Structure 1
Amino acid sequence: MKDQQAANSTQRRYEIAEDVLRSNIESGTLPTGLVLLEGPIADILQTSRAPVQRALQALEMEGLVHRFAGRGFLVGPPSADIEPNRTDIKALGLIVPRHADEALQNRSSWERIYNIVEADVAACVVFGRYRIVEMELANHFNVSRTVVRDVLTRLRERGLVRKNQSSHWIAGPLTAQMVKDHFVLRTILEPSAIRLGARAVSPTRLEGLLRRLRAAEEVNAAGSFQENEAIQAEFIECCVLATPNERLKDLVRNNLLPVIATDRLLRRLGLPGDPAIITELRLIAELLLRGATESAVSMMETHLDASLNRTIAQMKIVAIIPGPGVTAAYLTPVLD
């Protein structure tokens, strides 16, 4: 048991969630046809949706679950004609071994506050420049300065904060020029990545992505913020990051961090996503599946140009919105 606990302590959360779900499917606790949704599973495992989402994608690759015309995944192989069973998973008594439960809850302190801090920062950077004082942030959450620095370092990786010449942590302002700069890099990097990695794209995974994109178009192309973000993340993983060039992968990932943060900010401010995004990604995926690589690259360039225009248009709308009336206590406006 101690060896098993030690092994689980080194596993990532999505790997633990994957193991828990797999064992419950194989034991029949999660029956064939059961609809699996990220939210309820995350609640049971007391974790965020991201590791659950990644776990379900891994199980899909194994053929233990598959996507369908509705939201979520169905337990069972994709080839089977299975009727969706929408029983609440919380009523089925999901078996979570003690060592897995402990490993899931044994998260670093920075992870427990990161999402809150990111949301606080993202909610104000479009309105101006704010200073974050480490000690005030530490006192606000009753954590150490080490934890605070871990959080701020990760926010810096995502382009949400930076250090100025006085070594003060500064958030914002998020400008249209910054967004344009990142999209220029996207246009250089991502079409090239698609061209280089087209032959390495998994046909099975690509077909699964296409089913998901088509379902989103049919049900509600605008979709929820979480669902659209998940679909776009899967598209990047499947179609862009299939390139064998590891350095190119790193450049794509790093450049996307502030782009994703910007989109997340706009959604949190209530601005809707554009249904055209799903259609554009579906067209690229279809072209790749047909082997029309250069056409897929051209469509990707078109998609990125349209995405930039959509983002800039929404930032212009935000520019006329009054700034936040209340910000977190550790965020201090910097007056120019």
Structure 2
Amino acid sequence: MAENRKGQNAQRRYEIAEDVLRTNIAEGVLPVGLVLLEGPIAEILQTSRAPVQRALQTLEAEGLVHRFKGRGYLVGPGSDEPEPNRTDIKTLGLIIPQHADEALQNRASWERIYNIVERDVAGCVVFGQYRIIETELADHFNVSRTVVRDVLTRLRERGLVRKNASSHWIAGPLTAQTVKDHFVLRGILEPQALIASAPHIDRAALTALFGRLSTLEGRHTLDFLKDPSDIQTLFIDTCVLATPNEKLQELIRNNLLPVTAIERLLGLLGLPGDPIIITELRMIVELLMRGATAAAASMLQTHLEASVNRTIAQMKIVAIIPSPSATADYLTRVIEE
């Protein structure tokens, strides 16, 4: 019975997403040719990507949206290929009926707190090992332990937490060896994904990315150092995650979580990035624009090999920086398991 209720709740979420998108297409809020991406829609509806993904698949079957060579879907049946419209969907003022908003807001699930917990955990693991106590996490967010276990299970799937021999939930430490392990996987997955992505990359997005990288390359170093992770994320989204292999996309995203976490933390600590990253990414994009896919994949491999060395060098600096004086109250620093 509980499983049936769970399935019905999940169904309601994607049906609600369907109804919201269908209504906004019919009302013209979402114009023909608009690019629809799962992430921004999920953020607006405050749900996970899964129900949005399923909703878009249903709308595609109905002929209301269609896939194209770039990432995501275009509004419209696809009989006449319109020019992709990349207006930020958050600026369009989606019509969300009150009953739909309440249904989405009142869900008692891991989705409501996952992003906050992920951020809290990722922000401390580079400094050592922390224990997460289920009851304290539940009290902190005023949710059930079932919800907490769902959150922790997903964090474990993404490599941010684990259970030790005593069945305690442990986060970290994120060591040089674990970073190396993640980059080994990056070296296996991402160049192959780049090759698979090449025929599907949105050419306009690729050209725009090349222009942005070229501009950054010509600026003062400090312009790049303000947020090096932003341009790297854009590169991954545009060039690597354009692969139609959804399983490969998921593996890459999950493997990147700890790497992205440490890069952002290093930036927050004021550690300088390396401007050569911009040059390396610009070279990869330029090769893709020229149709030299194999050379671009080889350059990406070289970039990743250099990146792991840069990241570990920065982690050595972190080793002499005091750990944060304050973390979320459900995270307890431990010296050893």
Give TM-score, length-normalised by structure 2.
0.69
1:132 positional shift: 0.9
1:328 positional shift: 1.6
Counterpart residue number, 2:199: 202
Decide whether the 8 Å contact of 1:132 with 1:168 is kept in 2. yes
Decide whether the 8 Å contact of 1:123 with 1:269 is kept in 2. no
Deviation track 1:214-238 (CA, whole Å, cap 9, x = no partner) reads: 2432554637555642442332212
User: Counterparts of 1:270 and 1:79 in 2: how far apart (Å)?
Assistant: 38
Counterpart residue number, 1:11: 14
Give the stretch that moved more between structures: 121-130 or 282-291.
Answer: 282-291
| Among 233, 238, 243, the residue aligned to 1:234 | 238
Counterpart residue number, 2:220: none
Please report the RMSD computed on the Cα atoms of aligned residues, expressed in angstroms: 4.6
| Among 206, 210, 217, the residue aligned to 2:213 | 217
Counterpart residue number, 2:320: 320
User: Counterparts of 2:304 and 2:126 in 1: how far apart (Å)?
Assistant: 22
User: Counterparts of 1:281 and 1:171 in 2: how far apart (Å)?
Assistant: 32
User: Counterparts of 1:58 and 1:106 in 2: how far apart (Å)?
Assistant: 32
Decide whether the 8 Å contact of 1:25 with 1:31 is kept in 2. yes
Q: Which amino acid aligns with 1:135?
A: T
1:133 positional shift: 1.0
Counterpart residue number, 1:183: 183
Q: Which amino acid aligns with 2:127?
A: F
Counterpart residue number, 1:47: 46
User: Counterparts of 1:269 and 1:308 in 2: how far apart (Å)?
Assistant: 19
* Equivalent runs, 1:126-205 vs 2, <5 Å: 126-195=126-195, 197=196, 201-203=198-200, 205=201
Structure 2 alignment gaps of length 5 or more: 1-7, 57-64, 218-223
Counterpart residue number, 2:101: 101
User: Counterparts of 1:255 and 1:149 in 2: how far apart (Å)?
Assistant: 21
Give the stretch that moved more between structures: 253-262 or 111-120.
Answer: 253-262
Decide whether the 8 Å contact of 1:206 with 1:285 is kept in 2. no
Give TM-score, length-normalised by structure 1.
0.69
Q: Which amino acid aligns with 2:240?
A: I
Against the structure 1 CA distance between its residues 57 and 272, is the aligned structure 2 distance closer, same or farther, given a 3 Å change threshold?
A: farther
User: Counterparts of 1:57 and 1:313 in 2: how far apart (Å)?
Assistant: 45
1:319 positional shift: 2.0
1:120 positional shift: 1.6
Structure 1 alignment gaps of length 5 or more: 66-75
User: Counterparts of 2:112 and 2:332 in 1: how far apart (Å)?
Assistant: 23
Against the structure 1 CA distance between its residues 167 and 314, is the aligned structure 2 distance closer, same or farther, given a 3 Å change threshold?
A: same
Against the structure 1 CA distance between its residues 12 and 211, is the aligned structure 2 distance closer, same or farther, given a 3 Å change threshold?
A: farther
User: Counterparts of 2:209 and 2:302 in 1: how far apart (Å)?
Assistant: 18
Deviation track 1:95-117 (CA, whole Å, cap 9, x = no partner) reads: 33456535643555211111221
Against the structure 1 CA distance between its residues 37 and 272, is the aligned structure 2 distance closer, same or farther, given a 3 Å change threshold?
A: farther
User: Counterparts of 1:311 and 1:111 in 2: how far apart (Å)?
Assistant: 31
Against the structure 1 CA distance between its residues 161 and 25, is the aligned structure 2 distance closer, same or farther, given a 3 Å change threshold?
A: same
Against the structure 1 CA distance between its residues 268 and 41, is the aligned structure 2 distance closer, same or farther, given a 3 Å change threshold?
A: farther
Against the structure 1 CA distance between its residues 277 and 117, is the aligned structure 2 distance closer, same or farther, given a 3 Å change threshold?
A: same
User: Counterparts of 1:243 and 1:85 in 2: how far apart (Å)?
Assistant: 26
* Equivalent runs, 1:49-88 vs 2, <5 Å: 78=83
User: Counterparts of 1:261 and 1:102 in 2: how far apart (Å)?
Assistant: 32
Against the structure 1 CA distance between its residues 301 and 164, is the aligned structure 2 distance closer, same or farther, given a 3 Å change threshold?
A: same
Against the structure 1 CA distance between its residues 293 and 94, is the aligned structure 2 distance closer, same or farther, given a 3 Å change threshold?
A: closer
